[in-house]
Structure 1
Amino acid sequence: MTYEEFLELVDNADRIPDGLTVHQEALWYDRRGDWQRAHDLIDHLDDRTSARVHAYLHRVEGDMWNARYWYSRAGESPFSGSLDEEWVALVRRLV
Protein backbone atom coordinates (compact mmCIF):
# COMPACT_ATOMS: atom_id res chain seq x y z
CA MET A 1 0.00 0.00 0.00
CA THR A 2 1.24 3.49 -0.79
CA TYR A 3 0.79 6.66 1.20
CA GLU A 4 -1.72 7.90 -1.38
CA GLU A 5 -3.72 4.66 -1.15
CA PHE A 6 -3.83 4.98 2.63
CA LEU A 7 -5.07 8.58 2.33
CA GLU A 8 -7.79 7.40 -0.03
CA LEU A 9 -8.91 4.86 2.59
CA VAL A 10 -8.95 7.50 5.32
CA ASP A 11 -10.91 9.94 3.20
CA ASN A 12 -13.40 7.57 1.58
CA ALA A 13 -13.88 4.32 3.50
CA ASP A 14 -17.11 4.16 5.51
CA ARG A 15 -15.52 1.70 7.92
CA ILE A 16 -12.00 0.68 8.72
CA PRO A 17 -10.64 -1.46 5.90
CA ASP A 18 -9.49 -5.03 6.44
CA GLY A 19 -5.79 -5.81 6.31
CA LEU A 20 -4.38 -2.78 8.13
CA THR A 21 -1.82 -3.25 10.88
CA VAL A 22 -2.81 -2.12 14.35
CA HIS A 23 -0.54 0.92 13.90
CA GLN A 24 -2.19 1.85 10.61
CA GLU A 25 -5.60 1.36 12.21
CA ALA A 26 -4.66 3.73 15.04
CA LEU A 27 -3.58 6.40 12.56
CA TRP A 28 -6.73 5.81 10.48
CA TYR A 29 -8.96 6.36 13.54
CA ASP A 30 -6.94 9.37 14.66
CA ARG A 31 -7.29 11.05 11.27
CA ARG A 32 -11.03 10.29 11.31
CA GLY A 33 -11.34 12.10 14.66
CA ASP A 34 -11.57 9.11 17.00
CA TRP A 35 -8.54 9.70 19.22
CA GLN A 36 -9.83 7.43 21.97
CA ARG A 37 -10.21 4.40 19.71
CA ALA A 38 -6.78 5.07 18.21
CA HIS A 39 -5.26 5.23 21.68
CA ASP A 40 -7.10 2.12 22.88
CA LEU A 41 -5.63 0.10 20.01
CA ILE A 42 -2.03 0.70 21.03
CA ASP A 43 -2.20 1.59 24.72
CA HIS A 44 -1.45 -1.96 25.87
CA LEU A 45 1.31 -2.70 23.31
CA ASP A 46 4.98 -2.30 24.21
CA ASP A 47 6.91 -2.61 20.95
CA ARG A 48 8.83 0.39 19.60
CA THR A 49 6.44 1.08 16.74
CA SER A 50 3.48 1.15 19.11
CA ALA A 51 5.42 3.42 21.46
CA ARG A 52 6.11 5.78 18.55
CA VAL A 53 2.43 5.97 17.55
CA HIS A 54 1.53 6.29 21.22
CA ALA A 55 3.88 9.28 21.53
CA TYR A 56 2.20 10.97 18.58
CA LEU A 57 -1.26 10.38 20.04
CA HIS A 58 -0.29 11.95 23.36
CA ARG A 59 1.14 14.90 21.47
CA VAL A 60 -2.23 15.25 19.71
CA GLU A 61 -3.86 15.16 23.14
CA GLY A 62 -1.56 17.97 24.29
CA ASP A 63 0.11 15.85 26.98
CA MET A 64 3.75 16.55 26.15
CA TRP A 65 5.10 14.96 29.32
CA ASN A 66 3.47 11.65 28.37
CA ALA A 67 4.44 12.09 24.71
CA ARG A 68 8.11 12.54 25.67
CA TYR A 69 7.93 9.35 27.75
CA TRP A 70 6.62 7.38 24.75
CA TYR A 71 9.15 8.91 22.34
CA SER A 72 11.82 7.71 24.75
CA ARG A 73 10.28 4.22 24.86
CA ALA A 74 10.39 4.22 21.06
CA GLY A 75 14.07 5.19 21.16
CA GLU A 76 13.43 8.44 19.29
CA SER A 77 13.59 12.16 19.89
CA PRO A 78 10.34 14.10 20.03
CA PHE A 79 9.09 15.14 16.60
CA SER A 80 9.76 18.81 15.92
CA GLY A 81 7.28 19.49 13.10
CA SER A 82 3.54 20.01 13.13
CA LEU A 83 1.06 17.31 14.09
CA ASP A 84 0.07 16.94 10.43
CA GLU A 85 3.70 16.52 9.43
CA GLU A 86 4.17 13.90 12.11
CA TRP A 87 1.05 11.99 11.00
CA VAL A 88 2.32 11.99 7.41
CA ALA A 89 5.79 10.82 8.51
CA LEU A 90 4.28 8.00 10.55
CA VAL A 91 2.00 6.85 7.74
CA ARG A 92 4.85 6.95 5.24
CA ARG A 93 6.93 4.85 7.64
CA LEU A 94 4.15 2.32 8.18
CA VAL A 95 2.90 1.74 4.63
Structure 2
Amino acid sequence: MDLDAFKATLADENPPEGVGRPLQALWWDAQGDWEGAHRLAQAEPNRDGAWVHAYLHRKEGDLGNAQYWYSRAARTMSSESLDREWEEIAAALLSGRG
Protein backbone atom coordinates (compact mmCIF):
# COMPACT_ATOMS: atom_id res chain seq x y z
CA MET A 1 0.00 0.00 0.00
CA ASP A 2 1.28 3.46 -0.84
CA LEU A 3 0.42 6.80 0.75
CA ASP A 4 -2.40 7.59 -1.66
CA ALA A 5 -4.04 4.21 -1.04
CA PHE A 6 -3.63 4.65 2.72
CA LYS A 7 -5.18 8.12 2.59
CA ALA A 8 -8.08 6.72 0.56
CA THR A 9 -8.91 4.41 3.50
CA LEU A 10 -9.65 7.48 5.61
CA ALA A 11 -13.15 7.34 4.09
CA ASP A 12 -13.63 3.90 5.69
CA GLU A 13 -14.97 3.18 9.17
CA ASN A 14 -11.82 1.41 10.35
CA PRO A 15 -8.13 1.43 9.49
CA PRO A 16 -6.99 -0.97 6.79
CA GLU A 17 -6.28 -4.52 7.87
CA GLY A 18 -2.69 -5.61 8.08
CA VAL A 19 -1.11 -2.31 9.06
CA GLY A 20 0.72 -2.03 12.35
CA ARG A 21 -0.17 0.06 15.36
CA PRO A 22 1.84 3.14 14.30
CA LEU A 23 -0.10 3.38 11.02
CA GLN A 24 -3.36 2.63 12.80
CA ALA A 25 -2.51 5.47 15.18
CA LEU A 26 -1.99 7.86 12.26
CA TRP A 27 -5.27 6.69 10.74
CA TRP A 28 -7.18 7.37 13.98
CA ASP A 29 -5.44 10.73 14.35
CA ALA A 30 -6.65 11.69 10.87
CA GLN A 31 -10.16 10.73 12.04
CA GLY A 32 -9.87 13.21 14.90
CA ASP A 33 -9.38 10.56 17.61
CA TRP A 34 -6.18 11.84 19.22
CA GLU A 35 -6.72 9.76 22.37
CA GLY A 36 -7.18 6.52 20.44
CA ALA A 37 -4.16 7.34 18.30
CA HIS A 38 -2.10 8.08 21.40
CA ARG A 39 -3.05 4.75 23.01
CA LEU A 40 -1.92 2.85 19.91
CA ALA A 41 1.34 4.77 19.55
CA GLN A 42 2.12 4.36 23.23
CA ALA A 43 1.56 0.59 22.97
CA GLU A 44 4.20 0.20 20.24
CA PRO A 45 7.59 -0.17 21.99
CA ASN A 46 9.83 0.60 19.03
CA ARG A 47 11.12 3.63 17.10
CA ASP A 48 8.12 3.66 14.77
CA GLY A 49 5.76 3.94 17.72
CA ALA A 50 7.98 6.58 19.30
CA TRP A 51 7.95 8.63 16.07
CA VAL A 52 4.16 8.63 15.89
CA HIS A 53 4.01 9.30 19.63
CA ALA A 54 6.31 12.31 19.14
CA TYR A 55 4.18 13.65 16.31
CA LEU A 56 1.04 13.32 18.43
CA HIS A 57 2.56 15.28 21.32
CA ARG A 58 3.79 17.93 18.87
CA LYS A 59 0.25 18.18 17.54
CA GLU A 60 -1.04 18.45 21.10
CA GLY A 61 1.36 21.33 21.72
CA ASP A 62 3.37 19.50 24.40
CA LEU A 63 6.74 20.17 22.80
CA GLY A 64 8.80 18.98 25.78
CA ASN A 65 7.13 15.59 25.71
CA ALA A 66 7.33 15.55 21.91
CA GLN A 67 11.09 16.18 22.07
CA TYR A 68 11.50 13.22 24.44
CA TRP A 69 9.69 10.92 21.99
CA TYR A 70 11.57 12.25 18.95
CA SER A 71 14.73 11.39 20.85
CA ARG A 72 13.41 7.87 21.52
CA ALA A 73 12.68 7.58 17.80
CA ALA A 74 16.24 8.78 16.97
CA ARG A 75 14.78 11.72 15.03
CA THR A 76 14.82 15.48 15.29
CA MET A 77 11.61 17.39 15.85
CA SER A 78 10.00 18.27 12.56
CA SER A 79 9.66 21.87 11.47
CA GLU A 80 7.19 20.92 8.75
CA SER A 81 3.45 21.51 9.04
CA LEU A 82 1.63 18.83 11.01
CA ASP A 83 -0.12 17.67 7.84
CA ARG A 84 3.19 17.32 6.02
CA GLU A 85 4.78 15.46 8.92
CA TRP A 86 1.80 13.08 9.07
CA GLU A 87 2.34 12.31 5.38
CA GLU A 88 6.10 11.86 5.84
CA ILE A 89 5.63 9.43 8.71
CA ALA A 90 2.89 7.48 6.94
CA ALA A 91 4.90 7.22 3.71
CA ALA A 92 7.99 6.06 5.57
CA LEU A 93 6.09 3.44 7.57
CA LEU A 94 4.25 2.19 4.50
CA SER A 95 7.52 1.77 2.62
CA GLY A 96 9.26 0.06 5.54
CA ARG A 97 11.64 3.00 6.03
CA GLY A 98 10.26 3.95 9.45
TM exceeds 0.5? Answer: yes
**Mapped partners of 1:2, 1:78: distance in 2:** 24
TM-score (norm 1): 0.93
Superposed counterparts of 1:22-61, under 5 Å: 22-61=21-60
Give the unaligned 5+ runs of structure 2. Answer: none
**Mapped partners of 2:43, 2:88: distance in 1:** 23
TM-score (norm 2): 0.91
**Mapped partners of 1:44, 1:6: distance in 2:** 21
Backbone CA RMSD of aligned residues: 1.0
| Runs of 4 or more consecutive aligned structure 1 residues displaced over 3 Å after TM superposition | none
Give the unaligned 5+ runs of structure 1. Answer: none
Percent of pairs identical after alignment? 44
**Mapped partners of 1:45, 1:18: distance in 2:** 17
Does the 8 Å CA contact 2:22/2:44 hold for their aligned counterparts?
Answer: no
